[in-house]
Every structure is written in structure tokens, then in C-alpha cells.
Structure 1
Amino acid sequence: MPKTIVTPPGTGTPIAPFSPGTMADGIVYVSGTLPFDKNNNVVHVGDVAAQTRHVLETIKSVVETAGGTMEDVTFNHIFLTDWANYAAMNKVYAEFFPGGKPARFCIQCGLVKPDALIEIASVAHVGRKG
């Protein structure tokens, strides 16, 4: 099945060989999203809540560009650099998923830029409903 590259308007050039999202058969795969501006600089250094909001807004733009909404997100892969940020991340995360929550996992790890505190990759089903 063919895939479609999903790139929201205004997206900067990725720091590695990947697309912000791809869609195949109504499923959107959103690449690992870091708290970067369009020049790949980390935003909101030291503030995991603001970084989480930035990351989820970026994911939302990919999903919406593909024709979906955050309600279509079915799975999130969450990467934190420090478990001490777990509660603050969850508070913001819950704002983006107020109804039925997507499945997810969360791990602690290092990220590509030291000032980045969080990374999230998502899967959304924007095709057939039901």
C-alpha cells in the first residue's frame, strides 16, 4: 500500500532523515517529536510542562494535516529524561486527551539534545471510523 508523507505547513527541516509523519491505509504514524522550534533549537529549556505542551501541539498539527484530530490518536510512545518530570508531563498530557485515553508506554532515557526533557511518537487512525 502506498504511503503519504505528512508535513504540516511551516515545519522546519528535520535533524535526521525522517518525515514528521506518514500515512498509510488511514493510519498516521507521527515521528518521535521533540520540543524543537523550526530551526531545531530546544524550546522552554528546563520546563517539562511547556515542552510537553509544545510536543503535543506539534503532534496535533501532524494529525490534523492528515485529516484527523487528537481523538484519533490510539497509541503514544513517551520518552522522559527524568522520572521526576512524570507528574508534570501527565498533567499537560491529560489536557490533550480528556476523554478515552490512548494506549501508551513511558520510559526514561537520554534524548538527542540534552536540553530536551521529553519526546513523544504517536499513532492515529484517521481513516475508517467504527
Structure 2
Amino acid sequence: MKEVIYTEAAPKPIGPYSQAVRVGNLLFVAGQIPVDPKTGEVVGRDIREQTRQVLENIKAVLEAAGYTLDDVAMAFVFLADMGHFPAFNEVYAQYFKEKPPARVTVQAARLPRDVLVEIAVIAARG
């Protein structure tokens, strides 16, 4: 059975999709960009600031569904520029200190609202 997850603590979807969907013990979190959920504005001008906001948004969606960052099994990362990879990793490592999830990181030609980073995750609880 599919359950849609929504929280005001994360940015509202800007299209016909859900913030997250739970199916069984899996939670599929839609791609999050560095938008402040209170203002709807993009946060930060550099990759570090934007990565922090994206991960805080993901954390909020996970928490709304009863999950934590420790439950993240897979992350899909889209960077506007692979030159940002080292700085992105510095911040990402602060959120996933032990047993980090599997991950795919690619450079995207363009991201929504011309942000520098977007991340989607799959979390699992057993």
C-alpha cells in the first residue's frame, strides 16, 4: 500500500509529485533543492550552504515519516558542476558520519531554479 508523506517543514512540491512516498518499509524521498520551506526562496550562494539546506529538507521529510538520516540506504545526488564535488562531500559527510548510504553523484546540465545541488534518497527500516 502506498502512503503519501507531506510536511510543512520541507518545501512544498513545485509540480505534480509528493515530497515522499512510503511503500512497506521503504521511503522514497523526492529530489530536494535548497529552498527554505518558510519563505519558498533558494538558500545560499555556494555549494556548502545549499547542500546544508537540501539535507535539512531531507531530514524534515524523513522525520515526518518516522525515519532518520541513519535509515537512508541510497542517495541520488545531482550537481550543477562536478567541480563542487569536494566541497559538497565535506558537508555531506557531516550528515552521514557512520555507515553512509550507497550513492550516485552526477553532473546535471541544469537543475530546478538554477540551484547547485539536488538530492533524492531512499530510506529503509527493518
Q: TM-score, normalised by structure 2?
A: 0.92
Structure-1 separation of matches of 2:105 and 2:97: 18
In structure 2, the partner of 1:103 is 102
Gaps of 5+ in 2: none
Q: What SS class does the counterpart of residue 13 from structure 1 fall into?
A: coil
Amino acid at match of 2:85: Y
Does the CA-based 8 Å contact 1:8-1:65 persist in structure 2?
yes
C-alpha change, 1:18 and 1:98, in structure 2 (3 Å) is same
- 1:1-130 superposed matches below 5 A: 2-38=1-37, 39-44=39-44, 46-109=45-108, 110-114=110-114, 116-126=115-125, 128=126
1:51-92 deviation digits (Å, cap 9, x = unpaired): 101000110111111111111000000000011111111000
Q: What SS class does the counterpart of residue 9 from structure 1 fall into?
A: coil
Structure-1 separation of matches of 2:100 and 2:42: 27
Structure-2 separation of matches of 1:58 and 1:23: 17
Gaps of 5+ in 1: none
**How many residues get paired?**
124
Does the CA-based 8 Å contact 1:14-1:40 persist in structure 2?
no
Amino acid at match of 1:14: P
Q: What SS class does the counterpart of residue 70 from structure 2 fall into?
A: helix
Does the CA-based 8 Å contact 2:5-2:20 persist in structure 1?
yes
> CA offset at residue 30 of structure 1?
0.4
Q: What SS class does the counterpart of residue 113 from structure 1 fall into?
A: helix
Q: Which runs of 4+ in 1 moved over 4 A?
A: none
> CA offset at residue 8 of structure 1?
1.9
